[in-house]
Amino acid sequence: MAALTAIGKSKEGLSNAELDDAINDSSEWTTLWVVRQLTSLGFIEFKVDYFGNPARYQFTEAGRGALSMITGQPLPQKPPPPQLAPQPAAPR
């Protein structure tokens, strides 16, 4: 539960080190067990950044629904995609 709420609070997801700190774990084995359980249930996914930043664990839609069901809070609304303003036609 602590890992789900910690990942839910972050907008970009959590790296391995951040997840260790979030669940107050002094053993990487416990974190590995938690990550394996959440990944196998389909609640989180591992996103790799190919440009040198740390990889992060992020929610899937199933994870968002599970956290909402467990906590009783509504699903957080995703911001709508930005809409492009139509360009005026160039005079001929």
Q: What is the CATH number of the domain that holds 14?
A: 1.10.10.10
Global pTM reads 0.70
Number of domains making up the chain:
1
On whether residue 91 sits in a domain, the answer given is no
Q: What is the reported pLDDT for 70?
A: 86
Q: In terms of DSSP H, where are the helices of 1-92?
A: 2-9, 16-22, 28-41, 61-71
| Structural domain contains residue 44 | yes
Query: Which tens digits make up the pLDDT trace of 43-91?
Result: 999 989 888 888 899 988 898 888 888 888 876 555 556 666 666 766 6
Cα–Cα distances (Å) from 40 to 47, 53, 58, 81, 89, in that order, read: 15, 24, 14, 30, 52
Evaluate whether residue 38 is within a structural domain.
Answer: yes
| pLDDT at site 43 | 92
Helix (H) or strand (E) holding 57: strand 56-59
- The helix/strand count (H/E) of the chain reads as 4, 2
Q: How many CB atoms lie within 10 A of CB 21?
A: 13
- With bands split at pLDDT 50, 70 and 90, how would you rate the model's confidence at 16? confident
The residue segments making up the domain with residue 64 are 2-71
Position 68 scores a pLDDT of: 86
Q: What is the DSSP letter of 58?
A: E
Which tens digit of pLDDT belongs to each residue from 36-45? 999 999 999 9
